[in-house]
Structure 1
Amino acid sequence: MKALSVEKGKKHSKEDVIFGVVNYTLFAVFTLICVYPFYYLIINSLSANDLSGNGSINFLPRQLHLENYKQVLQLKGLAAAALVSVARTAIGTVCTVLASAFLGFMFTQEGMWKRKIWYRMLVVTMYFNAGLIPMFLTMQNLHLTNSFWVYIIPVIVQPFNIILVKTYMESIPKSLQEAAEMDGAGLMTVFIKIILPTATPILATIAIFAAVAQWNAFQDTLIYITDQKLYSLQYILYQYINQANSLATMVKNSSGGTNLNMAALATQQTPTSIRMTVSVIVVMPILFVYPMFQRYFVKGIMIGSVKG
Structure 2
Amino acid sequence: MVRKMSVPDMMFSVANYLFLSLLVIVTIYPFYYIFIYSISDSFEAQKGVYLWPAGFSLESYKTTIGLRGLPDAALVSLMRTVLGTIITVLSCSFFAYLITKHEMPLRRLIYRFVLITMYFNAGFIPWYLTMRAYGLQNNFLLYILPTALTGFYVILIKTFIEQLPQSLEESAKIDGAGYFTIFTRIIFPLSMPIIATIAVFAAVAQWNTWFDNFFLVEDPKLQTLQLVLYNFLNQSNSIANMTTQEMTQNAEARTMTPQSIRMTITMLVTLPIVLVYPLLQRFFVKGIMMGAVKG
What is the TM-score of this pair, normalised by structure 2? 0.90
Q: CA deviation at 1:128?
A: 1.2
- The residue that corresponds to 1:13 in the other structure is 6
Of residues 75-84 and 27-36 in structure 1, the stretch that sits farther from structure 2 once superposed is: 27-36
1:3-47 per-position Cα deviation (integer Å, ceiling 9, x unaligned): xxx3xx443333443333222222212211221111100111111
Are the counterparts in 2 of residues 145 and 225 from structure 1 also a CA contact under 8 Å?
A: yes
Residue correspondence of structure 1 range 209-248 to structure 2 within 5 A: 209-245=201-237
Residue correspondence of structure 1 range 1-308 to structure 2 within 5 A: 6=1, 9-53=2-46, 56-245=48-237, 251=241, 264=246, 268-297=255-284, 299-300=286-287
Task: Return the alpha-carbon distance in structure 2 between the equivalents of residues 293 and 24 of structure 1.
Answer: 27
CA 1:211 to 1:147, structure 2 compared with 1: closer, same or farther past 3 Å?
same
- C-alpha RMSD of matched pairs (Å): 2.4
Of residues 280-289 and 23-32 in structure 1, the stretch that sits farther from structure 2 once superposed is: 23-32
Instruction: Give the letter for the 1:194 counterpart.
Output: I
Task: Return the alpha-carbon distance in structure 2 between the equivalents of residues 124 and 306 of structure 1.
Answer: 32
- The residue that corresponds to 1:3 in the other structure is none
Instruction: Give the letter for the 2:53 counterpart.
Output: P
Are the counterparts in 2 of residues 164 and 301 from structure 1 also a CA contact under 8 Å?
A: no
Q: CA deviation at 1:124?
A: 0.2
Give me the identity figure in percent: 45
Task: Return the alpha-carbon distance in structure 1 between the equivalents of residues 119 and 131 of structure 2.
Answer: 21
Are the counterparts in 2 of residues 105 and 191 from structure 1 also a CA contact under 8 Å?
A: yes
1:30-83 per-position Cα deviation (integer Å, ceiling 9, x unaligned): 2112211111001111112234346x1122211211111011110011111000
Are the counterparts in 2 of residues 53 and 271 from structure 1 also a CA contact under 8 Å?
A: no
Task: Return the alpha-carbon distance in structure 2 between the equivalents of residues 199 and 10 of structure 1.
Answer: 42
1:277-308 per-position Cα deviation (integer Å, ceiling 9, x unaligned): 00011111111111111222355478669999
Q: CA deviation at 1:180?
A: 1.0
Which stretches in structure 2 are left out of the alignment for 5+ residues? 248-253
Q: CA deviation at 1:127?
A: 1.4
Task: Return the alpha-carbon distance in structure 1 between the equivalents of residues 97 and 13 of structure 2.
Answer: 43
Instruction: Give the letter for the 2:149 counterpart.
Output: V
CA 1:201 to 1:280, structure 2 compared with 1: closer, same or farther past 3 Å?
same
Which stretches in structure 1 are left out of the alignment for 5+ residues? 1-5, 252-259
Task: Return the alpha-carbon distance in structure 1 between the equivalents of residues 73 and 28 of structure 2.
Answer: 28
What is the TM-score of this pair, normalised by structure 1? 0.87
Task: Return the alpha-carbon distance in structure 1 between the equivalents of residues 79 and 219 of structure 2.
Answer: 17
Q: CA deviation at 1:242?
A: 0.9
Instruction: Give the letter for the 2:33 counterpart.
Output: Y
Secondary structure of the residue that 2:235 maps to in structure 1? Answer: helix
Task: Return the alpha-carbon distance in structure 1 between the equivalents of residues 291 and 101 of structure 2.
Answer: 17
Are the counterparts in 2 of residues 100 and 162 from structure 1 also a CA contact under 8 Å?
A: yes
